[in-house]
Amino acid sequence: MTDTKISLPESEIPTHFYNIAADLPTPLPPPLHPATREPIGPEALAPIFPAGLIAQEMAQDRMIAIPDEVRAIYRLYRPSPVFRARAFEEALDTPARIYYKSEHVSPVGSHKLNTAIMQAWVNKQEGVKRLATETGAGQWGSALACACQLLGMQCMVYMVRISYDSKPYRRIMMRTYGAEVIASPSPQTHAGRAILAEHPDSPGSLGIAISEAVEDAAGRDDTKYALGSVLNHVLLHQTIIGQEAIKQMELAGEYPDILIGCHGGGSNFAGLTFPFLKDKINGSRKALRAIAVEPAGCASLTAGKREYDFGDTAGSTPLMMMHTLGHTFMPAPVHAGGLRYHGSAPLVSHLLAAGLVEAEAYHQGEVFESAVRFARCEGTIPAPESAHAIHSVARHALEAREAGEKKVILFNLSGHGIFDLAAYESYLTGKMDPMA
Ligand SMILES: Cc1ncc(COP(=O)(O)O)c(C=O)c1O
């Protein structure tokens, strides 16, 4: 029997990030200035991002070196193991072989720490003292809070109101790491005050919280803004996931037929799939499928339009060409808070339009049914976001059974759900709206 847990030594922590921009069949449409609608240059991003990250955002080099100091911090939890989900396969009675990359083993419980560490490091190199950000469910905020603390920086988090109230443990976690946390919309920014004036009980959204954090960073000399998904440099940092997974699948003697990741802004999906997609783009693995899975209540890839739109609700960010539900879209209050974003990564949108990746959307009732089944087989309780990927895996495994095909499926377990137990309780007690 092959190993259930496929590990790599620390020496196999990737030395470079993989930049898919170098291999795209057609170039990515550039971001546009919100007022002039002309392509923006690096100077337009300088008030909120450090030069090193702006350079990565626009880079065309295929491989970008990871600083040794960042690789040293990655040793806290990387390389993350790949597991074969044997008990889940048995429960599904499928001939498919199911593997998962376990990003939930990071100290904060998700893949978000991969980019948080790199972003904090680059900012620190450029003399930035404080980072401002938004967070939905709290995964990204706790990752940035942890990274800032590890690198001796301050962290300011605007947390979407609905999660601030319903997820106290993530809030406490961020404060334990020394971050300042405030509910969004907040009275502290113009953007927050404008929303509160119209909707005093607003549950908030990622788009609103982004407006607040951007405003905070633009208004202070010591502060820059950090985003946990969507942008090219964030997806770039996550490619260490797929690079490790390629080696681990080789050790298992397998090559995946189907790659699956949940999709909020696109970073964990991109992190797992982009290093593999290089082979699909160059024609050596034409049959490889990469599937992004989103909630039916916020289905930017499957129900949105690909057009230029703002990244935030107030319309202060550059316009990006992406699949979007519109920047004023108010997502259903699904438990997968990290997937409640109106847009999607321009890179993932571009690949979807080119037919190189696919997208699926599911309702939260069916997603939690698969999540509970997975937890009972494999032990790990998945984050509600990651559970979307698990539900898709289950469906493809059942399709493989019907077709009598021994498909190899690899998915990204982007985070654990230990701080999301209230969502599990609402599912287990029948209180969840299954069709949201
Ligand atoms: C565990 C987990 N998975 C996935 C996501 C979605 O983000 P992305 O699409 O950037 O991976 C989040 C966002 O907060 C998350 O916390």
Both tokens of 288, joined, read: 């490889």
Contact 385 CB / ligand 1 (< 6 Å): yes
pLDDT confidence of residue 207: 84
CA-nearest residue for atom 4, ligand 1, is 385
pLDDT confidence of residue 242: 99
Q: Which residue has the tokens 């010591």?
A: 222
Per DSSP, the three-state class of 206 is helix
∠ CA 345-346-351, nearest 5°, is 100
- 108 Cβ contact partners less than 8 Å away, ≥ 6 residues apart: 139, 142, 143, 146, 173
Helix axes 112-125, 51-58, angle to 10 degrees: 130
What order of strands is seen across the sheet that includes strand 258-262?
Answer: 5-6, 82-84, 97-102, 408-413, 258-262, 289-295, 358-362
Per DSSP, the three-state class of 341 is coil
Contact 412 CB / ligand 1 (< 6 Å): no
Contact 137 CB / ligand 1 (< 6 Å): yes
pLDDT confidence of residue 310: 96
CA-nearest residue for atom 10, ligand 1, is 267
Q: Count other Cβ atoms within 10 Å, centred on residue 245.
A: 27
* End-to-end CA gap in the chain: 41
Q: What is the pLDDT along the chain (436 residues), one digit of tens a residue?
A: 779 999 999 999 999 999 999 999 999 999 999 999 999 999 999 999 999 999 999 999 999 999 999 999 999 999 999 999 999 999 999 999 999 999 999 999 999 999 999 999 999 999 999 999 999 889 999 999 999 999 999 999 999 998 899 889 999 999 999 999 999 999 999 999 999 999 999 989 888 999 999 999 999 999 999 999 999 999 999 999 999 999 999 999 999 999 999 999 999 999 999 999 999 999 999 999 999 999 999 999 999 999 999 998 888 899 999 999 999 998 888 888 889 889 999 999 999 999 999 999 999 999 999 999 999 999 999 999 999 999 999 999 999 999 999 999 999 999 999 999 999 999 999 999 999 9
How far is CA 86 from its chain centroid? Answer: 26
What order of strands is seen across the sheet that includes strand 130-135?
Answer: 180-184, 154-160, 130-135, 223-225
Q: Count other Cβ atoms within 10 Å, centred on residue 73.
A: 18
Contact 343 CB / ligand 1 (< 6 Å): no
CA-nearest residue for atom 13, ligand 1, is 338
Distance 268 CA to ligand 1 centre (A): 6
Strand 258-262 and strand 408-413: the pairing is parallel
pLDDT confidence of residue 335: 86
Distance from C-alpha of 38 to C-alpha of 36, rounded to nearest angstrom: 5
pLDDT confidence of residue 166: 83
Pocket test for ligand 1, best of 385, 391, 411 (most atoms within 8 A of CB): 385
CA-nearest residue for atom 6, ligand 1, is 264
Residue ranges of alpha helices (H) inside 59-158 are: 68-74, 86-92, 112-125, 139-150
pTM for the model stands at: 0.97
CA-nearest residue for atom 5, ligand 1, is 338
277: left (phi over 0), alpha (psi -120 to 50) or beta: alpha
Return the H-helix or E-strand segment holding 196.
Answer: helix 190-198
Pocket test for ligand 1, best of 205, 268, 357, 413 (most atoms within 8 A of CB): 268
CA-nearest residue for atom 11, ligand 1, is 268
Burial of 93 (0-12, 13-18, 19+ CB in 10 A): exposed
Contact 387 CB / ligand 1 (< 6 Å): no
Distance from C-alpha of 374 to C-alpha of 337, rounded to nearest angstrom: 20
- 436 Cβ contact partners less than 8 Å away, ≥ 6 residues apart: 295, 296, 297, 332, 333, 334, 363, 364
Contact 234 CB / ligand 1 (< 6 Å): no
How far is CA 420 from its chain centroid? Answer: 17
pLDDT confidence of residue 316: 85
pLDDT confidence of residue 152: 98
**Is residue 95 a contact partner of residue 180, using CB atoms and an 8 Å limit?**
no
Contact 295 CB / ligand 1 (< 6 Å): no
Contact 204 CB / ligand 1 (< 6 Å): no
**Is residue 328 a contact partner of residue 313, using CB atoms and an 8 Å limit?**
yes
pLDDT confidence of residue 313: 86
- Shortest-distance atom of ligand 1 to CA 234: 10
Distance 376 CA to ligand 1 centre (A): 22
- Shortest-distance atom of ligand 1 to CA 266: 9
Distance from C-alpha of 254 to C-alpha of 172, rounded to nearest angstrom: 41
Which residue type does 24 have? Answer: L
Distance from C-alpha of 167 to C-alpha of 162, rounded to nearest angstrom: 8
Distance from C-alpha of 266 to C-alpha of 388, rounded to nearest angstrom: 13
Distance from C-alpha of 81 to C-alpha of 335, rounded to nearest angstrom: 27
Contact 383 CB / ligand 1 (< 6 Å): yes
